């Protein structure tokens, strides 16, 4: 083997190593950029705009025309989702639909005589904790969409509701969590 062919092989190996180092460095840099983007990326859901009847703060005095305290439980693939406290509470403002009491209890203290719905509750939740929590329909709850293997069901007091109106499901007046005769326990299940 001649001296010039050894030099050529050695030079080729150095070039190949340099190329490999550059290629691996570029791949590492792209991976870091993709991971950084994934951690900082947020879906840009628009903020939740409450209708006027949900924007109001309940007054400290007076008698509401719509009082109800149903309970709600949400199961996602069999796992209970926490209903956070203070949905609808912002400083001294308490919205007509809120969770200022025991976990899972919806308080409705409204001075407007209208039918309030599960959709109203989810809107207030989304306005308080972020737009993802405002999503509730027959096709989706939060980020969970129905498909051939998953659906959303509603039960009331352990009785399944056939063809429920989902977001239009009315929250009745005078449901009372502390009175067995007028309790209303809502279970929403995604499975």
**What are 134-145's pLDDT values in tens digits?**
999 999 999 999
Q: Is the pTM of this model over 0.95?
A: no
Q: Which helix (H) or strand (E) segment is 94 a member of?
A: strand 93-94
Question: According to the model, what pLDDT value does residue 182 have?
Answer: 81
**Token pair of 91 as six digits:** 């400083």
Q: In this predicted structure, what is the pLDDT of residue 102? A: 84
| Residues of the chain below pLDDT 50 | none
Domain range summary for the chain, segments of one domain joined by +: 1-41, 52-190
Inter-residue contact 88 to 47 (CB < 8 Å): no
What pLDDT, on the 0 to 100 scale, is given for residue 1? 52
Predicted confidence at residue 25, as pLDDT, reads 85
- The pLDDT score that the predictor gives to residue 126 is 97
**Phi and psi torsions of 129, nearest 5°:** -115, 0
Compute how many other C-beta atoms are within 10 angstroms of the C-beta atom of residue 60.
7
Could you tell me which of 97, 101, 104, 102 has the C-alpha nearest to residue 83?
A: 104
| Cβ–Cβ under 8 Å, residues 146 and 140 | yes
Q: What is the pLDDT of residue 5?
A: 57
């Amino acid at each position: 083997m001649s001296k010039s062919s050894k030099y050529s092989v050695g030079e080729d190996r150095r070039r190949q190593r340099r190329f490999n180092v550059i290629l691996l460095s570029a791949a590492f840099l792209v991976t870091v950029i993709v991971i950084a983007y994934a951690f900082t990326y947020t879906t840009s859901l628009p903020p939740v705009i409450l209708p006027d009847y949900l924007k109001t703060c309940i007054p400290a005095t007076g008698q509401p025309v719509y009082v109800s305290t149903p309970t709600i439980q949400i199961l996602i693939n069999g796992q209970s989702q926490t209903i956070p406290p203070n949905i609808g509470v912002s400083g001294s403002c308490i919205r007509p639909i809120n969770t200022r009491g025991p976990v899972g209890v919806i308080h409705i203290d409204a001075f407007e005589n209208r039918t309030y719905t599960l959709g109203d509750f989810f809107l207030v939740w989304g306005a308080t904790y972020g737009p993802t929590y405002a999503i509730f329909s027959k096709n989706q709850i939060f980020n969970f969409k129905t498909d051939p293997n998953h659906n959303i069901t509603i039960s009331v007091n352990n009785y399944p509701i056939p063809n429920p109106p989902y977001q239009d499901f009315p929250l009745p007046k005078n449901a009372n969590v502390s009175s067995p005769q007028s309790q209303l326990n809502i279970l929403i299940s995604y499975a």
